[in-house]
Protein backbone atom coordinates (compact mmCIF):
# COMPACT_ATOMS: atom_id res chain seq x y z
CA UNK A 1 0.00 0.00 0.00
CA UNK A 2 1.81 3.11 -1.26
CA UNK A 3 -0.90 5.70 -0.73
CA UNK A 4 -4.42 6.20 0.58
CA UNK A 5 -7.08 3.73 -0.46
CA UNK A 6 -10.65 5.04 -0.33
CA UNK A 7 -13.28 2.54 0.81
CA UNK A 8 -17.06 2.82 0.85
CA UNK A 9 -18.93 1.30 3.79
CA UNK A 10 -22.60 1.02 2.77
CA UNK A 11 -25.36 0.97 5.38
CA UNK A 12 -27.62 -2.02 5.78
CA UNK A 13 -31.36 -2.10 6.32
CA UNK A 14 -33.17 -4.96 8.05
CA UNK A 15 -36.44 -5.38 6.17
CA UNK A 16 -37.77 -8.14 8.43
CA UNK A 17 -36.56 -9.81 11.61
CA UNK A 18 -37.85 -12.84 13.45
CA UNK A 19 -36.19 -14.07 16.64
CA UNK A 20 -36.02 -17.85 16.49
CA UNK A 21 -34.42 -18.67 19.82
CA UNK A 22 -32.01 -17.78 22.59
CA UNK A 23 -28.73 -19.67 22.95
CA UNK A 24 -27.23 -20.80 26.24
CA UNK A 25 -24.71 -17.98 26.02
CA UNK A 26 -27.57 -15.47 25.88
CA UNK A 27 -27.21 -14.58 22.20
CA UNK A 28 -30.46 -14.48 20.22
CA UNK A 29 -30.78 -16.38 16.95
CA UNK A 30 -32.68 -14.73 14.14
CA UNK A 31 -34.14 -15.10 10.69
CA UNK A 32 -33.96 -11.79 8.86
CA UNK A 33 -33.86 -10.20 5.42
CA UNK A 34 -31.28 -7.47 4.94
CA UNK A 35 -30.35 -5.19 2.05
CA UNK A 36 -27.48 -2.84 1.31
CA UNK A 37 -28.25 0.88 0.94
CA UNK A 38 -26.80 3.72 -1.10
CA UNK A 39 -26.03 5.59 2.15
CA UNK A 40 -22.39 4.95 3.05
CA UNK A 41 -19.50 5.93 5.29
CA UNK A 42 -16.11 6.76 3.78
CA UNK A 43 -12.80 5.32 4.92
CA UNK A 44 -9.37 6.50 3.80
CA UNK A 45 -6.78 3.82 4.54
CA UNK A 46 -3.12 4.84 4.49
CA UNK A 47 0.19 3.38 5.62
CA UNK A 48 0.72 3.85 9.34
CA UNK A 49 -1.32 3.25 12.44
CA UNK A 50 -4.26 4.92 14.20
CA UNK A 51 -7.86 5.93 13.63
CA UNK A 52 -9.46 9.34 13.19
CA UNK A 53 -13.25 9.50 13.31
CA UNK A 54 -15.55 12.39 12.46
CA UNK A 55 -19.05 12.69 11.04
CA UNK A 56 -22.69 12.52 11.96
CA UNK A 57 -24.16 12.22 15.41
CA UNK A 58 -27.52 10.58 16.05
CA UNK A 59 -29.41 13.74 15.03
CA UNK A 60 -27.44 14.16 11.82
CA UNK A 61 -25.31 17.09 12.99
CA UNK A 62 -21.61 17.14 12.25
CA UNK A 63 -19.27 16.39 15.13
CA UNK A 64 -16.93 13.89 16.68
CA UNK A 65 -18.39 10.44 17.11
CA UNK A 66 -17.44 7.65 19.45
CA UNK A 67 -14.03 6.56 20.64
CA UNK A 68 -11.24 4.92 18.70
CA UNK A 69 -9.73 2.26 20.99
CA UNK A 70 -12.79 0.00 20.82
CA UNK A 71 -14.10 1.14 17.44
CA UNK A 72 -15.08 -1.72 15.14
CA UNK A 73 -12.53 -0.52 12.59
CA UNK A 74 -9.76 -0.99 15.16
CA UNK A 75 -11.14 -4.41 16.09
CA UNK A 76 -11.42 -5.44 12.43
CA UNK A 77 -7.79 -4.49 11.82
CA UNK A 78 -6.77 -6.52 14.86
CA UNK A 79 -8.76 -9.51 13.62
CA UNK A 80 -6.96 -9.49 10.28
CA UNK A 81 -3.55 -8.80 11.79
CA UNK A 82 -3.17 -5.65 9.72
CA UNK A 83 -2.15 -2.12 10.68
CA UNK A 84 -3.17 1.07 8.90
CA UNK A 85 -3.91 4.72 9.47
CA UNK A 86 -7.64 5.12 8.89
CA UNK A 87 -9.65 8.30 8.56
CA UNK A 88 -13.34 7.44 8.95
CA UNK A 89 -15.97 9.95 7.87
CA UNK A 90 -19.41 9.02 9.16
CA UNK A 91 -22.43 9.59 6.94
CA UNK A 92 -24.50 6.81 8.54
CA UNK A 93 -25.97 8.20 11.78
CA UNK A 94 -24.87 6.43 14.96
CA UNK A 95 -27.40 4.47 16.98
CA UNK A 96 -29.83 4.37 14.07
CA UNK A 97 -30.02 0.62 13.44
CA UNK A 98 -28.41 1.01 10.01
CA UNK A 99 -25.26 -0.95 10.78
CA UNK A 100 -22.81 1.94 10.52
CA UNK A 101 -20.13 0.44 12.74
CA UNK A 102 -20.61 -2.99 11.20
CA UNK A 103 -20.34 -1.51 7.71
CA UNK A 104 -17.06 0.17 8.64
CA UNK A 105 -15.64 -3.08 10.01
CA UNK A 106 -16.79 -4.97 6.90
CA UNK A 107 -15.08 -2.45 4.63
CA UNK A 108 -11.80 -3.11 6.44
CA UNK A 109 -12.32 -6.88 6.22
CA UNK A 110 -12.94 -6.63 2.44
CA UNK A 111 -9.82 -4.48 2.06
CA UNK A 112 -7.83 -7.12 3.95
CA UNK A 113 -9.28 -9.97 1.87
CA UNK A 114 -11.04 -11.49 4.89
CA UNK A 115 -13.92 -13.91 4.19
CA UNK A 116 -14.45 -15.84 7.45
CA UNK A 117 -18.06 -15.04 8.35
CA UNK A 118 -18.01 -16.83 11.70
CA UNK A 119 -15.01 -14.80 12.80
CA UNK A 120 -16.62 -11.65 11.44
CA UNK A 121 -19.70 -12.36 13.58
CA UNK A 122 -17.52 -12.07 16.68
CA UNK A 123 -17.17 -8.37 15.87
CA UNK A 124 -20.95 -7.95 15.68
CA UNK A 125 -24.05 -9.69 14.40
CA UNK A 126 -24.40 -7.37 11.39
CA UNK A 127 -20.78 -7.58 10.25
CA UNK A 128 -21.14 -10.80 8.19
CA UNK A 129 -24.04 -9.41 6.17
CA UNK A 130 -22.23 -6.10 5.64
CA UNK A 131 -19.23 -8.10 4.43
CA UNK A 132 -21.34 -10.01 1.87
CA UNK A 133 -23.87 -7.25 1.12
CA UNK A 134 -26.54 -6.99 -1.54
CA UNK A 135 -29.68 -8.76 -0.38
CA UNK A 136 -29.67 -11.83 1.79
CA UNK A 137 -31.44 -14.02 4.30
CA UNK A 138 -29.52 -13.84 7.57
CA UNK A 139 -29.80 -16.52 10.25
CA UNK A 140 -28.04 -17.86 13.32
CA UNK A 141 -26.46 -14.98 15.23
CA UNK A 142 -25.75 -13.29 11.92
CA UNK A 143 -23.10 -15.63 10.52
CA UNK A 144 -25.40 -17.66 8.23
CA UNK A 145 -25.79 -15.64 5.03
CA UNK A 146 -27.86 -16.88 2.09
CA UNK A 147 -27.66 -14.38 -0.80
CA UNK A 148 -30.93 -13.52 -2.51
CA UNK A 149 -31.52 -11.99 -5.97
CA UNK A 150 -30.99 -8.23 -5.94
CA UNK A 151 -34.17 -6.15 -6.03
CA UNK A 152 -33.91 -2.44 -6.83
CA UNK A 153 -36.03 -0.36 -4.46
CA UNK A 154 -36.33 3.23 -3.29
CA UNK A 155 -36.86 3.88 0.41
CA UNK A 156 -37.38 6.81 2.75
CA UNK A 157 -35.74 6.75 6.18
CA UNK A 158 -36.48 8.87 9.23
CA UNK A 159 -33.98 8.65 12.09
CA UNK A 160 -35.16 10.23 15.36
CA UNK A 161 -32.70 12.28 17.44
CA UNK A 162 -32.66 9.50 20.02
CA UNK A 163 -30.82 6.21 19.94
CA UNK A 164 -32.07 2.72 20.71
CA UNK A 165 -29.51 0.52 22.46
CA UNK A 166 -29.47 -2.89 20.79
CA UNK A 167 -28.62 -4.82 24.01
CA UNK A 168 -31.35 -2.92 25.89
CA UNK A 169 -33.95 -3.66 23.21
CA UNK A 170 -33.11 -7.37 23.22
CA UNK A 171 -33.26 -7.41 27.03
CA UNK A 172 -36.67 -5.74 26.89
CA UNK A 173 -37.82 -8.34 24.33
CA UNK A 174 -36.84 -11.05 26.82
CA UNK A 175 -38.59 -9.22 29.68
CA UNK A 176 -41.77 -8.91 27.61
CA UNK A 177 -41.84 -12.67 27.08
CA UNK A 178 -40.67 -12.70 23.47
CA UNK A 179 -43.43 -10.85 21.59
CA UNK A 180 -43.99 -11.35 17.86
CA UNK A 181 -43.93 -8.08 15.95
CA UNK A 182 -47.06 -7.41 13.90
CA UNK A 183 -45.16 -5.70 11.09
CA UNK A 184 -42.42 -8.24 10.40
CA UNK A 185 -39.98 -7.14 13.11
CA UNK A 186 -40.10 -8.93 16.46
CA UNK A 187 -37.98 -6.19 18.05
CA UNK A 188 -40.43 -3.39 17.24
CA UNK A 189 -42.68 -3.82 20.32
CA UNK A 190 -39.61 -4.11 22.54
CA UNK A 191 -38.02 -0.99 21.06
CA UNK A 192 -41.23 0.98 21.56
CA UNK A 193 -41.42 -0.21 25.15
CA UNK A 194 -37.78 0.68 25.79
CA UNK A 195 -37.87 4.06 23.98
CA UNK A 196 -41.53 5.26 23.93
CA UNK A 197 -40.49 8.44 22.13
CA UNK A 198 -39.99 6.37 18.97
CA UNK A 199 -43.76 6.21 18.49
CA UNK A 200 -44.14 9.89 17.66
CA UNK A 201 -41.51 9.61 14.93
CA UNK A 202 -43.30 6.61 13.46
CA UNK A 203 -46.49 8.68 13.37
CA UNK A 204 -44.66 11.63 11.82
CA UNK A 205 -43.31 9.53 8.93
CA UNK A 206 -46.64 7.75 8.53
CA UNK A 207 -48.59 11.01 8.38
CA UNK A 208 -46.16 12.43 5.81
CA UNK A 209 -46.24 9.40 3.50
CA UNK A 210 -49.59 7.71 4.04
CA UNK A 211 -47.79 4.43 4.78
CA UNK A 212 -47.24 2.35 7.90
CA UNK A 213 -43.54 2.78 8.76
CA UNK A 214 -41.49 -0.21 9.82
CA UNK A 215 -38.65 -0.20 12.32
CA UNK A 216 -35.13 -0.93 11.09
CA UNK A 217 -33.80 -3.74 13.28
CA UNK A 218 -33.64 -2.65 16.91
CA UNK A 219 -34.12 0.98 15.85
CA UNK A 220 -34.21 3.86 15.96
CA UNK A 221 -34.78 4.44 12.22
CA UNK A 222 -38.24 4.08 10.65
CA UNK A 223 -38.64 3.43 6.93
CA UNK A 224 -41.26 3.26 4.18
CA UNK A 225 -41.12 2.30 0.52
CA UNK A 226 -40.64 4.95 -2.15
CA UNK A 227 -38.97 8.35 -2.15
CA UNK A 228 -40.87 10.91 -0.08
CA UNK A 229 -38.98 14.19 0.33
CA UNK A 230 -39.58 15.93 3.63
CA UNK A 231 -38.03 17.40 6.74
CA UNK A 232 -35.49 14.96 8.15
CA UNK A 233 -36.19 12.33 5.50
CA UNK A 234 -33.29 10.42 3.96
CA UNK A 235 -33.96 9.19 0.44
CA UNK A 236 -31.98 6.04 -0.28
CA UNK A 237 -31.99 3.10 -2.67
CA UNK A 238 -30.94 -0.52 -2.42
CA UNK A 239 -27.64 -1.31 -4.12
CA UNK A 240 -25.92 -4.55 -5.18
CA UNK A 241 -23.25 -6.18 -3.07
CA UNK A 242 -20.09 -4.07 -2.75
CA UNK A 243 -17.11 -5.22 -4.76
CA UNK A 244 -14.31 -3.42 -2.93
Residues carrying an active site annotation: 12, 126
Cis peptide before 220 (omega within 30 of 0): yes
Helix or strand (DSSP H, E) at 204 = helix 198-209
Cα 123 to its chain centre, rounded Å, is 13
Query: Is 92 exposed, middle or buried, given 0-12, 13-18 or 19+ CB atoms closer than 10 A?
Result: buried
3-state SS, residue 141: coil
Residues with Cβ within 8 Å of 213's Cβ and at least 6 positions away in sequence, in order, are 158, 202, 205, 206, 222, 223, 224
Is residue 177 within 8 Å of 171, Cβ to Cβ?
no
Amino acid sequence: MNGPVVLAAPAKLTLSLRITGVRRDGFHTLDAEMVTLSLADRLEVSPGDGLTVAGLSIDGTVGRVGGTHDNLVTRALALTGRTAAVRLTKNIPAGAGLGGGSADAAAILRWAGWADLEAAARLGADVPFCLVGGRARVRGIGEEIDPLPFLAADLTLLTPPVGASTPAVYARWDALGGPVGEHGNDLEPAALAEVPELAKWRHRLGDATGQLPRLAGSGSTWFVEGHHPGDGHRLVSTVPAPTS
